[in-house]
Amino acid sequence: MPRLEELANVALRVPSILVLDLLYKCDIDGLTEHLKAKNEDMLFKYKYVIWNLYYLGHLINVVVLLLPLRHIVMLYLHILAALLLYMGHQISKDYVREELHFGFEGAVFRDSSTFNRFVSALTSQIILCTLCAFLMKTKKVWLFSAHMLPLLARLCTVPHATLLTVNTFSMGLTGAGIAVFLLSHLFVPYRLAKAAYSELLQVEVIELYRLLAVGISLWNKFAVPVLFTVFWFVLFIVQLCSDIMSSNSASPSHQGIMFLLLSSVSECCATPYSLLGLTFVVSYLALGLLNLCKFYLGGYAAVQNENVMHRGVTEGVTLLLLALQTGLLDMQALQRTFLLSIILFIVVTSTLQSMVEITDPIILALGASRNRSSWKHFRGLSMCLLLLVFPVFMAYRISQFFHMDFWLLILVSSCMLTSLQVTGTMLIYGLFMVELFRSDPIESLDEIIYWVNAISRVLEFVVALCVVAYGTWESLFGEWSWMGASVIIIHSYFNVWLRGQSGWRSFLLRQEAAKKINSLPRATAQQLQQHNDVCSICFQVTHSVSQTVTRSLGHSVTQSHGHTVTQSLSHRFWIVDIMIVINNFLT
């Protein structure tokens, strides 16, 4: 039952959003311009009525959307009962027309065809009455049997001319009953709103955190992300089927399929409701892709370790902000398609960057931990190759469709940065694997890792510097805009100045630490043999050691496999460098 309630809570609210989306697309101004009336006064009244109906439609759908679940269920049950009553009147109307057509006015049991028509219509009407009573949870079936009056009149051999009058009377009787029911329940939304307002006053939502708690509670109760996601998928499927049916080519090419999909998606983000639905869809797709990456690399246990930065929220918010900033809703269909393709490109780039952040520690841990599982190494390397090749392919494809300018360079540079990060990770992984298969350990491995990581960061810095240089040159000798200048300034400060400053500071700190460690005296071979010392970390025989001995413990700070204390500190500074870069990226 809880699952069924969750499903009903979403499915029964989707039609309200669909109607709101259709109302938003309605061109009321264009409709009122083509109205014709006898005079200006009548024309004004027509426009007044149309606009009021338009606003009333919005109000009714918003009220239905915000109703509690049990009230929405009751509303749909009443609508279904009304449809069944309408069907019953249509059956009666068709039956009266058939009787007038055949013209037999005797008793129904005297003619076989007349009797068969009567039994069929009567059976249908009894079933409809029973269904209406079942939906309304009442045993008073006669309340829903007004449409059976023409059948009863025909059973009493009423003249055919009177059957039309009886049918009209039955329809009027049902309409009057529905009107009385609607008038008696006219203030139900008002009473619900009043009850909700009273509950909010009891909660004392004056304080901000309580107001946020109420908002989060309503968000979860209405299942807003799932609701808008289902709404958008329904809209997209209908639009895609319509585009496929209207397409002239029976077997479009691959490029035609991509354009068809993009055009269908762009048509499904022409209103604020559909744009919000696309935002949640992109967020869920990004979350699914990141979870798939975690599952591929680490299995089911890795999916359970949730990270706030890897929940797809960043990608959805990015799409929404870019769409609002660029005025996506106000564009024509073709312009919206091309702009949406660029926005989705940025979203995919952001998703790839999150995948790199997931893959990087896993592949480095495989190399450093000397894990010999071939399947784990294959999964890590295949994911790295995908993250290395796919951004390059994306940059190549988008550079073919658009002329190179500052904005396109930013997109291409983001793909290049992703590939550079993956390249650095694979190089470090390769060093770990080379040391694993060597008989002797690699001297100064940490030093090599530090410089590999440093070169990767320098290349990222150079890419950011090239973007700034190109943007500055285009602003000075090309088209000047305040938006472009502001982007250049922000990019120069965060991606060039702060990154260069933090990198240089890290380098100086490392150099200073290395000088201090190298200034310490080294233990001689005789001292090592005299103490019979081993490494305190790996318990292997040492070859050289700094002579900083804690005599109370009888141990010295050792070097294992040629790794000096200086190199251990270098490794720690390498971790600090990574944390600084990640902090700058998140900022």
Structure tokens at 439: 């008989």
Whether 445 and 568 have beta carbons less than 8 Å apart is answered as: no
Tell me, rounded to whole angstroms, the distance of Cα 419 from its chain centroid.
25
132 is catalytic: no
Report the DSSP pairing between strands 555-560 and 522-523. Answer: unpaired
Residue 286's CB: how many other CB atoms inside 10 A?
25
Contacts of 113 (CB under 8 A, 6+ apart): 102
User: What is the four-CA torsion angle of 544, 549, 553, 559, rounded to 10 degrees?
Assistant: -20
Q: What is the residue type of 469?
A: A
In this structure, what DSSP letter does residue 309 have?
A: G
Q: Which of 26, 466, 535, 538 is catalytic?
A: 535
Distance CA 468, CA 474 (A): 10
CA triple 489-493-498, angle to 5 deg: 170
Distance CA 210, CA 18 (A): 32
Its sign, for the CA torsion 396, 400, 405, 410, is negative
Closest CA to 24 of 328, 279, 274: 274
The distance between the two most distant Cα atoms of the chain, rounded to a whole number of Å, is 130
Tell me, rounded to whole angstroms, the distance of Cα 410 from its chain centroid.
24
Helix pair 482-491, 406-437: axis angle to 10 deg:
20
**Phi/psi at 329 (5° precision):** -70, -25
Active site residues: 535
